[in-house]
Amino acid sequence: MLKLEKRPSDSRLMAYLSPLIAILLTLLCGGILFVFLGHDPFAALHTFFIAPLTSVYGWTELGIKVAPLLLCAMGLTLCFRAKIWNIGAEGQFIMGALGGSIAALQFLDADSRWALVPILLAGTLSGLGWAALAAWLKTRFNANEILTTIMLNYVALNALLYGVHGPLKDPEGFNFPESALFADATLLPVFSDDYRLNISILFALLAMVAIWTLMARSWVGYQIRVLGEDAKAARYAGFKDKQLTWFALLACGALAGLAGVSEVTGPLGQLVPQVSPGYGYAAIIVVFLGRMQPLGILFASMLLALTYMGGEMVQMEMTLPKSLTGLFQGMLLFFLLATDFLIAYRLVWRRQPASHSTTASQA
């Protein structure tokens, strides 16, 4: 008989295998889905997952989506490792975009690249400041950060809408909710004029290395991990949990803010109401899919970015509906949660009569 049994300790192997199994199951079920839709499953999966990456252009576009995801995800890792459930990367991202845009609009006549420095700084600090609110509420009033960060996301969104509909609106824009286009000098440098990919991908990779070093090699990182594993033990060891909370949230806010300002000074080139297609929320999925490990998170963000691009591709090539993107993301998450169960549990095959014979021999 097949039985579930709790493992004596969590399986490290399964922790790494489960995302891979989840991906395979997603591909399998996706293939079956395509068959039912009347398409060759291999050709369809090829269009979804491979075709977007068969050109340099495809890879640069992937990079554009990976950069903000990775920046937000690295910040969130820091929080989640300390078991600080910051759901507010979205709001911090938006505030970064908003703060950065306010700065960029002061430099509309700029022709020096140096103008980018205060703009990026303004964006980063805006994200940091937004996270500081949640940190203050948590450390001062012990307010649940899940609730405060979610609510602050909505406040940020409304601040953004106020900005683009109000004082930041392009005066020559016929009242449409968009800012003026930023000066060319205040846009992030691109690697080649043929592509949109800009240096924000370097910020993201740098952040990845920095957070990895911090978590794996530093005293602060060690304290954060202990705080996450066992808050009481951390306090007993004399770690200052409030300071650690401040640190994790501020760092996350700064990274998400940087992601936000990189988006407006990058592919957008202006502030628009739809500045975030939900990067802050998608980053939460990325962190868990990537097992809170830097390389895992990098691959997870690439995979998630790819599902968006693949969804566009199958629409164009095979006139399949957009909902496929959501379906694939949903399946991926569902299977991940399902296979994660195998980290703490295992399936064992046990013969019923065996236990019967033991009782018999005892008698």
Partner 1 sequence: MTIKKLMVAAGLAFAASASQAEPLNIGFVYVGPVGDAGWTYGHDAARKAVEEKFGDKVKTTYVESVAEGADSARVIRNLAQKGNELIFTTSFGYMNPTLKVARKFPKVKFEHATGYKQGKNVGNYMARAYQGRYLTGLVAGSMTESNTLGYVASFPIPEVVRGINAFTKGAREVNPDVKVKVIWISSWYDPAKEREAAETLMLQGADVLTQHTDSAAVIQAAEAKGKYAIGYHTDMSAYGKSAHLTSTIHNWAPLYIAKAEAVMNGTWESQSLWYGLKEGVTDIAPFNAAVPAEVRTLVEEKKAQIKAGELQVFAGPIKDQQGTERVKVNESLADDDLKGMNWHVEGVDSKLPEA
Position 165 contacts partner 1 (CB under 8 A) = yes
Q: Taking Cα atoms as reference points, which of 248, 230, 62, 94 lies closest to residue 160?
A: 94
For partner 1, the closer of residues 114 and 162 by Cβ is: 162
Of residues 54 through 93, those in contact with partner 1 by CB under 8 A are 57, 61, 64-65
3-state class (DSSP) for residue 348: strand
3-state class (DSSP) for residue 345: strand
Q: Are 203 and 215 in contact (CB under 8 A)?
A: no
Position 199 contacts partner 1 (CB under 8 A) = no
- Least separation in angstroms between residue 132's CB and partner 1 is 26
- Least separation in angstroms between residue 52's CB and partner 1 is 9
Sequence letter at residue 338 = A
Instruction: Name residue 164's beta-bridge partners.
Output: none
End-to-end Cα spacing for the chain:
24
For partner 1, the closer of residues 39 and 346 by Cβ is: 39
Interacting residue with partner 1 among 77, 276, 329, 339 (CB under 8 A): 276
Interacting residue with partner 1 among 30, 99, 123, 177 (CB under 8 A): 177
Of residues 220 through 249, those in contact with partner 1 by CB under 8 A are none
Sign of CA dihedral 190, 191, 194, 196: negative
Q: How many Cβ atoms sit within 10 Å of the Cβ of residue 206?
A: 12
- Least separation in angstroms between residue 139's CB and partner 1 is 33
For partner 1, the closer of residues 294 and 311 by Cβ is: 311
Please state, in angstroms and rounded to a whole number, the distance separating the CA atoms of residues 217 and 225: 12
Q: How many Cβ atoms sit within 10 Å of the Cβ of residue 202?
A: 13
Binding segment for partner 1 among 13-21, 182-190, 237-245, 311-319 (CB under 8 A)? 311-319
Q: Could you say which DSSP state residue 171 is in?
A: T
Interacting residue with partner 1 among 98, 268, 285, 331 (CB under 8 A): 268
Cα 6–chain centre separation: 31
For partner 1, the closer of residues 76 and 313 by Cβ is: 313
Contact pattern from residue 289 through residue 308 relative to partner 1, giving x for each residue in contact according to CB under 8 A and a dash for the rest: -------------------x
Position 145 contacts partner 1 (CB under 8 A) = no
Contact pattern from residue 96 through residue 125 relative to partner 1, giving x for each residue in contact according to CB under 8 A and a dash for the rest: ------------------------------
- Least separation in angstroms between residue 287's CB and partner 1 is 22
Interacting residue with partner 1 among 166, 238, 360, 363 (CB under 8 A): 166
Question: 129-167 burial by CB neighbour count: b if 16+ within 10 A, else e?
Answer: bbbbbbbebbbeeeeebeebbbbbbeebbebbeebbeee
Long-range contact pairs involving 38-47 (C-beta distance under 8 Å, separation at least 24): 39/318, 39/320, 44/314, 44/318, 44/320, 47/310, 47/313, 47/314, 47/317, 47/318
Counting residues that bind partner 1 (by CB under 8 A) gives: 39
Q: Which residues bind partner 1 (CB under 8 A)?
A: 57, 61, 64-65, 161, 165-166, 169, 173-178, 181, 194, 196, 263, 266-270, 272-277, 308-309, 312-313, 315-316, 319, 321-323
